[in-house]
Amino acid sequence: MKNKVITLGVTLTILIFGISAFSFGQLIPNAPFKAETMKAPDFTLKDLKGKTFRLTKNSGKPVLLFFGATWCPACRTEIPAMKNIFKTYTPKGLEIAYINIGESSKRVGRFVQTNSLPYRVLLDENEDVADQYNIVGVPTFILIDKDGLINSITHRSADLPLTKLFPDK
């Protein structure tokens, strides 16, 4: 009798776990996983020349935000690739803005001059825009499409889907 109870218990356990394992993935509420799009939060920052940059003033064209800092080795490593992206995609309509997080204009100015950055450099000295975009590490790249929707967030410029926004004709 004891063997029958043990056999029945083992059989029921296998049956329950078997059915449970089979049913995982069967009920998926967001199938087929359509990508959710998010409007890029608007912001206004000053650049090194004191000119105002407002994100919504660039509606109708894609914008690449590059969040970084002068002390960041990975940010410095990305500079050659970003110069290449600037050279290749700004003639096609891409606006690029490097957003320095939490540093003085004097320090950032020296960094820009030393590295000959060709793109616009914005100062987020109070880190408000970084907080608005939930930036937790640098470098962070945010690609915004012409409709103002966030297309991509990545930590490497090589991962940016620029060819999707600018397909070869």
Of 2 and 167, more confident: 167
How confident is the model at residue 16, as a pLDDT? 67
Per-residue tokens: 140: 């962070």
Give the Cα separation of 44 and 71 in Å (integer).
24
Q: Given this structure, which CATH class describes domain 44-165?
A: alpha beta
Q: CA dist 46 to 23, 121, 136, Å?
A: 54, 9, 22
Q: Read off the pLDDT of residues 100-122 as tens digits, 9 standing for 90 and up.
A: 999 999 999 999 999 999 999 99
Phi, psi of 96 (to 5 degrees): -115, 135
How confident is the model at residue 20, as a pLDDT? 57
What mean pLDDT value characterizes the chain?
89
Q: Read off the pLDDT of residues 2-61 as tens digits, 9 standing for 90 and up.
A: 777 788 777 767 766 665 555 554 445 545 566 678 999 999 999 999 999 999 999 999
Of 4 and 72, more confident: 72
Name which of 4-8, 76-80, 155-159 the model is least confident about.
Answer: 4-8
| Every domain of the chain and the residues it spans | 44-165
**pTM recorded for the entire structure:** 0.80
Give the Cα separation of 114 and 153 in Å (integer).
27
